[in-house]
Amino acid sequence: MALAALALLLLPPLVAASDNRLAQSPPMGWRSWNLFGSNVSQLRIERIMRAMAEREHLVDGVPTSLCDLGYCDVGLDDNWQLCGAYGAEGQLRFHDETGAPIVNTTRFPSLKAMTDLAHSLGLYAGWYGNNCICMETHTEAEKFYRGDVQALRAYGFDSIKLDGCGSQNDLELFDRLIKETPATSGREAVLVENCHWGSREPFAPHFAADGSLWCPWNFYRTSGDVRANYDSVVRNLLTTVDYARRNLSQPGCWAYPDMLEVGVACSEGGDCPGGTLDLGLNAAETRAHFGAWAIVSSPLILSHDVTDPAIAAAVWPVIANKEVIAVNQAWAGHSGSPFFESSEQVLLYTPPEWAYRRRGVLLLVACALCAAVYAFRRLAAARRRRRSTSTAEEEGHELGTLEPKRLVDEGQAIPATAPRLPLRVLLCLAFTAALVAGVAQLVYVWGEETLNPYHSWELLVPAAQYFYKPVRPHGEATAVLLMNHAPTRRDLRLEFAAIPGVLCTRCHVRDLWAHRDLGNFSHAYVASDVESHDAPFLLITPAAV
């Protein structure tokens, strides 16, 4: 005992995931990319900021702003920079030779005025670095990191999202410099988002040999960009599962499957980053999306147009659900993950390119068949001609010359007479057209798959998938989200014994969407007639015996 205690004392202390003390619960806020894409400006961000602080809607009869609910971190994404050629060799794209970033002051006349506004509204202001638009390849030197952090402090930003596009990917260096550089206004600690898409190193935290979590940021992207459609939402959601199971998503260091697409929708041909992949979620899908982000302890970062009264009103009941937010913000040792998956699977999405691929392949197969038949008949005819010539030679000259007509009859594949020529030309044209069309379709598919950053592959998922998250320890309260990925209505049966950590056999079930107690149930609860892509959100507590 004493030895064990001594050993514990001698071990280095366990450090909290991120030692800036921020993000003890998942961060909440708003960011610009999904709504504005590259078309961002100070004016637009300031309008969003005002709306985030406005008490326009009610919660339990009380006028409440989004920031009152916790959505206080308002950030801008890419395209604040003045793209150009800087530095002695003109190799820098938006930094000068000293390492300072260069702002497009037409779009952003004063970043400091923008963060001042945020602070006056009780908000935090977020910035964005290691940009994708005019991405840089010559900024590995420390002076560029230093220049960015000095600018961050001078402009008074409280948080920063660091993308994975440029060459400034050293997040430990950013972390050190931020801590070394005092704030001029705003928060002393800076909330850092690692936006390396789950693929650009470093993107994941890990446990060090001493048991501490190496995580020099506050939340990290586990996926590529999310789009406003159910397939993309589920695809991104599932990227958090492995991190949750390894306890790599926890206070100070949260796994993040990207922003919320709640209330984001794009008309066909509209000005949104994902184009037709951003056509939006229906009411059931919106609920399921928000519930899923909540139950896996994802940061809740809104991205819809909060200044549009119709959109704001439509999504308010979902994003202002305090019980669901409370599940997201709770911590009882596990960040939330699936515990049940039906054996039946459903294809959630067939990428539109599949139709093109099928058509392209069919056309090329048809062309190949035609060519084969043509070649075969030509060969056969040539052989027959050769044979009849040689037979004629062998049998002497009595037969005389063969009539051309006989040749034609025998070798039908090569009609040699004038009236059949147009048909041949037509066939030849049809063949060429099919060949060109087939190749074009396949080239299109190749382009979509390799060049379109938002391209998605087909996704096979369980028809029913249930997530859980302990809200209080020892099975005292556990949240459960029953996701119906199927294209049809389903009854979803929940066995209490299957939920990790739940000990009650007679349990109390509360519907968190409806704020309604459903009653006490023995062994199981059945959510009946659940809409396609909907997700009942339940809180399970022990019922009195």
User: Which range in 102-110, 111-119, 185-193, 412-420 contacts ligand NAG by CB under 6 A?
Assistant: 102-110
Give, as one character, the DSSP assignment of residue 291: H
**Is residue 304 at the binding interface for ligand NAG, with CB under 6 A as the rule?**
no
Binding track, positions 487-516, relative to ligand NAG; x by CB under 6 A: ---------------------x--------
Closest by CA position to 492, among listed 542, 459, 531, 523 = 531
Closest by CA position to 145, among listed 165, 130, 127, 161 = 130
Which residues 248-277 are close enough to bind ligand NAG by CB under 6 A? 250, 271
**Is residue 333 at the binding interface for ligand NAG, with CB under 6 A as the rule?**
yes
**Is residue 309 at the binding interface for ligand NAG, with CB under 6 A as the rule?**
no
**Is residue 181 at the binding interface for ligand NAG, with CB under 6 A as the rule?**
no
Closest contact distance (angstroms) between CB of 544 and ligand NAG is 3
Among 15, 46, 47, 82, the residue binding ligand NAG under the rule CB under 6 A is: 82
CA pair distance 312, 310, nearest whole angstrom: 6
User: Which range in 65-73, 82-90, 146-154, 313-321 contacts ligand NAG by CB under 6 A?
Assistant: 82-90
Strand (E) or helix (H) holding 480: strand 477-484
The residue among 31 and 485 lying less far from ligand NAG, judged by its C-beta, is 31
CA pair distance 265, 277, nearest whole angstrom: 9
Strand locations in 48-123 (E) = 57-59, 62-64, 73-75
Which residues 423-452 are close enough to bind ligand NAG by CB under 6 A? none
The encoded tokens of residue 376 equal 């075969």
User: Which range in 76-84, 234-242, 336-344, 523-531 contacts ligand NAG by CB under 6 A?
Assistant: 76-84
Closest contact distance (angstroms) between CB of 442 and ligand NAG is 32
Give, as one character, the DSSP assignment of residue 418: G
Among 167, 276, 329, 520, the residue binding ligand NAG under the rule CB under 6 A is: 520
Per the CB < 8 A criterion, the answer to whether 218 and 255 are in contact is: no
Which residue reads 């003890």 in tokens? Answer: 24
The residue among 339 and 356 lying less far from ligand NAG, judged by its C-beta, is 339
Other residues' Cβ atoms within 10 Å of the Cβ of residue 241: 17
Q: Rounded to an integer, what is the distance from CA 34 to the centroid of its chain?
A: 11
The residue among 107 and 227 lying less far from ligand NAG, judged by its C-beta, is 107
**Is residue 334 at the binding interface for ligand NAG, with CB under 6 A as the rule?**
yes
The residue among 388 and 520 lying less far from ligand NAG, judged by its C-beta, is 520
CA pair distance 272, 76, nearest whole angstrom: 15
Per the CB < 8 A criterion, the answer to whether 153 and 180 are in contact is: no
From the number of C-beta atoms within 10 Å of its C-beta (0-12, 13-18, 19+), residue 374 rates as middle
Closest contact distance (angstroms) between CB of 250 and ligand NAG is 5
The residue among 330 and 367 lying less far from ligand NAG, judged by its C-beta, is 330
The residue among 298 and 456 lying less far from ligand NAG, judged by its C-beta, is 298
Among 12, 21, 39, 436, the residue binding ligand NAG under the rule CB under 6 A is: 39
Tell me if residue 293 falls in helix, strand or coil. Answer: helix
Half-sphere exposure of residue 19, counting CA atoms within 13 Å on the CB side? 11
Phi, psi angle pair for 51, to nearest 5°? -70, -30
Among 25, 104, 167, 388, the residue binding ligand NAG under the rule CB under 6 A is: 104
User: Which range in 101-109, 276-284, 354-362, 372-380 contacts ligand NAG by CB under 6 A?
Assistant: 101-109
CA pair distance 149, 160, nearest whole angstrom: 10
Q: Residue with the closest Cβ to ligand NAG? A: 544
Number of residues that bind ligand NAG (CB under 6 A): 17
The encoded tokens of residue 48 equal 């969003």
The residue among 182 and 269 lying less far from ligand NAG, judged by its C-beta, is 269
Strand locations in 50-123 (E) = 57-59, 62-64, 73-75
Which residues are at the interface with ligand NAG (CB under 6 A)? 39, 82-84, 104, 106-107, 247, 250, 271, 333-334, 508, 519-520, 543-544
